[in-house]
Structure 1
Amino acid sequence: MTQPGAPWPYPRWVAHRGAGRLAPENTLAAFRLGAAHGYRMYECDAKLSADGVVFLLHDTTLERTTNGTGVAGHLAWSALSQLDAGSWHSRAYAGEPLATLEAVACHCQAQGHWLNIEIKPTPGAELDTGRAVASAAARLWQADAARAPLLTSFQPDALAGALETAPHLPRGLLLDTLWNGWLDTARSLDCAAVVCNHALWDATTVAQARGAGLRTLAYTVNDEWAAQRLLGFGLDGIITDRVDLFPPGR
């Protein structure tokens, strides 16, 4: 179990899906723009192609953020790699491709930056996706262990797969509600952190998490009032779309 006061290497401010409003989310263009705004840590969503390639996409289906159709995880990477993942955002990003986790790892390591990988399984593939993402992350960061990524998920089965495959990589349980047993689940998965919808954090929940030796992160914080409230609690991580509003050194 993670011990209170255990080292926490990550920057407090985290760019959500790269710079996921100012550029097409989860693409290398978004990571580059986040870096241009001074960010040193990014959140992204990772899932599995039909032939086992770990790539970045938030949704189960392709329609919202690419010119493809259908369930992304049902396609091989050879097909996914041909899609336009930029035109939906703006003409300036037309032709921007989907990114593999390997490409993002190379980008982060070249910059000396950190990554929070949300394991985002195709429904029904939670355990396998957790194993595959953890295996890929362990391999990709083997030579850069000091900047090992934080693996998070809303799906306990995905985190169980990650724990089984790469127990040395830190994990975080994502929460959009405080469902019954959330704290026990985080402890049973030997998580280092809990990552809550920012509205869920108050003095009580912060104390509960810290009492269990867990770090505290919040998503998705896009308003000054919310940021000030969370900074008052001393949260360890604040995930934001507004890389243009919040200087990461604050």
Structure 2
Amino acid sequence: MPPAPEKIEFSTDSKYLYDMAHAISSGVVPVDLANIKPGKIVHSRWLTKAARLLRLYVTTENPDANLRILVEFIIKCYVPMYFNIKYYSSVVYGSALFFKFIGWSRFLEPRLRKIVNQVIKDNSYYAHSENILLSMLFDDSKEKRDCAIKKILRYRTDVDEPMELRVYKKPDINFNCTSYTEMINLNDINIVFEPPFTRSIPYDTLKEYINQDDHRLMIQKFHHTYKERNDMFNC
């Protein structure tokens, strides 16, 4: 779970999911929570279905194997991912959270892991090099931030004519990765693309950021200044 869930703006359904997950994890369901009527399932929202499955689990004396599998997945994968996304809502955390989900799902037996892996492949947008490099640019580690800049500079140098219209192809994922930077091969120039976020930053300016202790604020400031200037000319 994120470090400070009390800072999350809970809807009624998300608060119920959080409380039910906490109750199952602790092994105690408070009376007031047990007396809540959760209402109908909204099939277009996984949130309500997950919460109702947790409710079914705590009210079933002898839950079968399938229900146990679903509840374990909800507790270990769905719930922490849902609330981490709520807490770390910026796009710069996307690749790191995607990597965490891969790791959280490794507890599954091979048959189920194969099913989940296919879903991960079908939704691997945050394993794309653009998003990984964006996360690296704002990582707490200076080594990763500098590495991202070097990858972008190399891309600008090695690619003769960077595509204006990019082919956004979902990448193949390394499921044995131990970091979000290892989800794909960032040394393969054929699958590495510069994030649109940095394309307006001049080469020399971007290169100077390597010598800065922390360039994250400088990149944001440049981006906002550039955007404000463009908005002014586009009025």
Question: Fold-level match, TM-score > 0.5?
Answer: no
The structure carrying a bigger strand percent of its residues is: 1
The structure number with the bigger radius of gyration is 2
TM-score with structure 2 setting the length: 0.26
Higher normalized contact order (CA 8 Å, seq sep 6+, divided by chain length): 1
